[in-house]
Amino acid sequence: MGNVETTRGGAENSNPLSNQNLPPKAHSSTLQSTMPVHSHPVTQDYKISRQVLGVGINGKVVECHNRKTGTKFALKVLRDVPKARREVELHYMASEHRHIVKIFDVYENTYNGVKCLLVVMECMEGGELFSRIQERAQSAFTEREGAEIMYDICCAVQYLHRMNIAHRDIKPENLLYSTKGSSGVLKLTDFGFAKRTDATAIRPLETPCYTPYYAAPEVLGPEKYDKSCDMWSIGVVMYILLCGFPPFYSAHGLPMSPGMKTRIRSGQYVFPSPEWDRVSEAAKDVIRGLLKTDPSERLTIDQVMAHKWITHYMKVPETPLFTPAVLNEERMQWSEMQDEMEKTLASMRVGNEDIHIKSLKESNNKLLNKRMKKEKK
Ligand code: ADP
């Protein structure tokens, strides 16, 4: 290894914050990145393989091996632009958690005049969450197992939200297992749309000197919109986990219809028979709380973590679910479902950027104007 002191590869997970049950309290002022970035060539420390593990919108992920230990890792190659820096910094900050893909090393190298960021991550060899459930056609996949999976995902999200990071791209492709077999750990990855949500990161100079009481966005704060996007995603993942098809579907078995957007907006979904007949009322209660159309009504991660179906996941009934069979039957529709979820997440992110927090000067609220005049007197 070129720079052993700042290299995390192979180091034991010694960060006390890594305890999944003890997420850190929000300390926005301490959210400074301490990400060490090596500038010597990555090839000095790692042997890069031709094996492509996946291709994303921002770059390739290839297999690589640590030259000293021979351990296999995944290497994500990104153009070194500010957006990529943000992605890697936020991912690095969160990467000590058991249910978040770990970053071991980051390099800044130049190839043919192009500055690149190279991210060495743990290699997730167990594949995507739903591929694994799909393979379970032989042995029953139960509601209790579903609850345990949701508990793991929620632990990761609680950790992020308490650090004031919203992931904003939680979807099936970004939930990967560390290894094949029962010892595999489910982890969240791809921080390409992650965003800091603490007030100082959003509006450093705009904080009003007194709280405006008249408009919902101010009361709610933009940070909650970002976090509520994650809560909606958790709701969709949970729904699919318990039945094998997504909640906002034109008709079970048919491709998405143009009216789907409207249905998402108006929150029209059902728990159809027979798939949902034996699913517990507690599970449906969590989903109803997560798929609320009004983001301010949606459950927060702390509320979900306090729900008995999540907290006491080991007591959830071991009812066999239709999920593996439905996932197998509707294999063809999976990529359409992925496209739709991607589009909906994109519109939620854009929608949020549209929410403009008026400064007190800009706002023309009669009541507020009266109050300001009074205060000037
Ligand atoms: P993008 O941000 O460009 O969409 P991702 O981070 O989602 O890229 O990675 C693209 C694909 O690469 C993933 O869908 C997955 O198949 C694969 N991949 C990503 N990270 C890992 C990893 N740590 N181990 C194994 N495969 C990975």
Domains and CATH numbers, the chain: 28-121 (3.30.200.20), 127-376 (1.10.510.10)
* Alpha-carbon distances of 339 from 59, 171, 173, 220, 333, rounded to whole Å: 19, 11, 11, 30, 10
To test the pocket of ligand 1, the residue of 52, 53, 129 to mutate (highest count of ligand atoms within 8 Å of its CB) is 53
Alpha-carbon distance 124 to 10, whole Å?
Answer: 16
Is 76 known as a binding-site position? yes
Q: At residue 281, does pLDDT exceed 90?
A: yes
Q: Whose C-alpha lies nearest to ligand 1, atom 18?
A: 54
Mean pLDDT score, 40-64:
93
Average pLDDT, the chain: 81
Residue of 209, 198, 204, 203 whose CA lies nearest to 360 = 209
The answer to whether the CB of 194 is under 6 A from ligand 1 is: no
The answer to whether the CB of 317 is under 6 A from ligand 1 is: no
When pLDDT is cut at 50, 70 and 90, the band that residue 354 belongs to is very low
The answer to whether the CB of 226 is under 6 A from ligand 1 is: no
Residues 6+ apart with CB under 8 A from 206: 357, 359
The answer to whether the CB of 126 is under 6 A from ligand 1 is: no
Indicate which residues carry an active-site annotation. Answer: 169
Q: At residue 164, does pLDDT exceed 70?
A: yes
pLDDT number for residue 269: 86
Q: How many CA atoms lie within 13 A of 268 on its CB side?
A: 10
141 DSSP 8-state letter: -
Determine the distance from the C-alpha atom of residue 296 to the mean position of all C-alpha atoms in its chain, rounded to a whole number. 19
- How far does the centroid of ligand 1 lie from the alpha carbon of residue 84, in Å? 14
Tokens of 231: 């809560």
- How far does the centroid of ligand 1 lie from the alpha carbon of residue 56, in Å? 6
Give residue 79's identity as a one-letter amino acid code: R
- How far does the centroid of ligand 1 lie from the alpha carbon of residue 123, in Å? 10
The answer to whether the CB of 117 is under 6 A from ligand 1 is: no
Q: At residue 282, does pLDDT exceed 90?
A: yes
